[in-house]
Amino acid sequence: MADYKAPLRDMRFVLNEVFAVSKLWAQLPGLAEVVDEDTAAAILEEAGKVTGGTIAPLNRSGDEQGCSWDNGVVSTPAGFLQAYKTYAEGGWVGVGGDPQFGGMGMPKAISAQVEEMVNSANLSFGLYPMLTAGACLSINAHASEELKERYLPNMYAGVWAGSMCLTEPHAGTDLGIIRTKAEPQADGSYKISGTKIFITGGEHDLTENIIHLVLAKLPDAPAGPKGISLFLVPKVLVNADGSLGEKNSLSCGSIEHKMGIKASATCVMNFDGATGWIVDAPNKGLAAMFTMMNYERLGVGIQGLSLGERSYQSAVEYARERIQSRAPTGPVAKDKAADPIIVHPDVRRMLLTMKALNEGGRAFSSYVAMQLDTAKYSEDPTTRKRAEELVALLTPVAKAFLTDMALETTVHGQQIFGGHGYIREWGQEQLVRDCRITQIYEGTNGIQALDLVGRKVIGSGGAFYKHFADEIKAFTDSADTELAEFVEPLKAAIANLEQMTADLLERAKVNPNEAGAASVEYLQVFGYTAYAYMWALMARTALAKQAEDDFYVSKLGTARFFFARILPRIHSLTAAVKAGSESLYLLDAAQF
């Protein structure tokens, strides 16, 4: 496998040239004082060094060795502990954290690029700081000042880690039926009892403490999701002076043996009257959890993008070097027995598909990150509300579409290697295995599609969708004629999505099955249309600069490929949406 090299040039292109993100930062009081274009460039450069030089070399060995469990003790693979210390000492765990508690205070548009780099380098490794950052988000937004001051500094510093304990053996997506209980104590604490499964980083040897955020129900809680509360439950209790005390009453019952991400400890966690403290108010646990979820679901989408990027880097290097057969037009490498496989149309189709989906995904994830920054930092209520609604709309698309495209991309990379892609030594099969989980955790992609259609589109009466559609139409209406080759298909795509949305809103009023029947294909059409917008924006910049650098020529060529060969996928997907729900209900359960 090729050595991983962070795509810094493309990251700078997206942030600085396409979105001019430093102008946004200058307008947001919480960011104007902490980050500018030069600061961002320096941070990304350093992140590229640590991820490529320290973390990436552990990817294959970590997969082969995996985590081990021995009587409740979980050990990570060789090299992980030292690499984690290096990563933590660089401040990377707290790159987006609140500076008041020791975080770096960077915007999501920057931390998203760092996430891409660490997950491209080693997805299993990247999950440990990701879960810590997610737990910190919820604590910082919803916990008391006392809890924030006690726990956040060490978590941002990477001295302590975090986990999110949501899922139970009988309760995955339907968290309203969880059974974990929280009993109030006279001193204001709670005793937490129950079992959680699939807990990423629930136990490991990378940090001296792990701070679990646990969903549980109080004795008098109302039924369903309205009765869920969130509790902070440390692995090791913390004394009043900040030192570590005795071990809490919790344990890791086992770790899962998985298809991929084998160096990430996926744990069964048992809470046996463990001491915890409530985060936010009673029965407000879902709100606290969803503060983290908007960031984490984008983060999972970025994980998919990361694996697609790693797969592409290896595949394009291999395609330039591997010689097999002659080009259809005649010998290219006349001094060799055969031509490099990059001359063959099908190999070029796969490489360009990977490139177009990766670069479109990087632009889209950065765009969503910018909306998160605006929603968090803007002082204008109208601007903030619009950004919040865009985040709500686009988060399920970012999670599901990026990861669906990532599986396609990693499989293309494996296919380019042929038989070598199927065996371990080249690394491509690991990327396919690791990628598969991204479509499942943090809410399966089918659930994301239901969320998009049911809650965000139909639930808002189309209002959230209108923000995005109006922005695209404003762009196409104002675009110069020289952009016509990109703007005209984008116009057709948004008109198609507009009509599909209107039809779905009407059909759902009559038949409740319509939303679920259309949801996955609708999300896919939405995703391809969103990527078309990203590619039109990138083409506008590249067109103006194509004489300066081959980078822009490559960008334009990839944009043309996207519009010619990938965007037309929306037509068959649209036909499926229009077909409605009837054919899904022609069979009784016994007839399957």
Residue 73, CA atoms < 13 Å, CB-side half-sphere: 5
What's the pLDDT tens digit per position in 99-114?
A: 999 999 999 999 999 9
Mean pLDDT for the chain overall: 97
CA distance 428 to 329: 30
Q: Which of 115, 203, 388, 442 is catalytic?
A: 442
In 3D, which of 121, 126, 123, 127 has the Cα closest to residue 313? 121
Q: For residue 215, what pLDDT is reported?
A: 96
DSSP state of 324: -
What's the pLDDT tens digit per position in 240-264?
A: 999 999 999 999 999 999 999 999 9
Q: For residue 419, what pLDDT is reported?
A: 97
pTM of the prediction?
0.97
- Which residues 6+ apart lie within 8 Å of 71 measured at CB? none
CA distance 421 to 412: 10
CA distance 25 to 21: 6
Helix axes 108-121, 123-142, angle to 10 degrees: 150
Task: Give the residue-averaged pLDDT of 398-414.
Answer: 98
Q: How sure is the predictor about 174, in pLDDT bands with cuts at 50, 70 and 90?
A: confident
Q: For residue 167, what pLDDT is reported?
A: 94
What's the pLDDT tens digit per position in 550-560?
A: 999 999 999 99
What is the CB neighbour count within 10 angstroms for residue 61? 14
Q: Is 442 a catalytic residue?
A: yes
Helix (H, G, I), strand (E, B) or coil at 272: strand
Q: Is the pLDDT of residue 1 over 80?
A: no
CA distance 553 to 541: 11
- Which residues 6+ apart lie within 8 Å of 19 measured at CB? 109, 366, 367, 370, 537
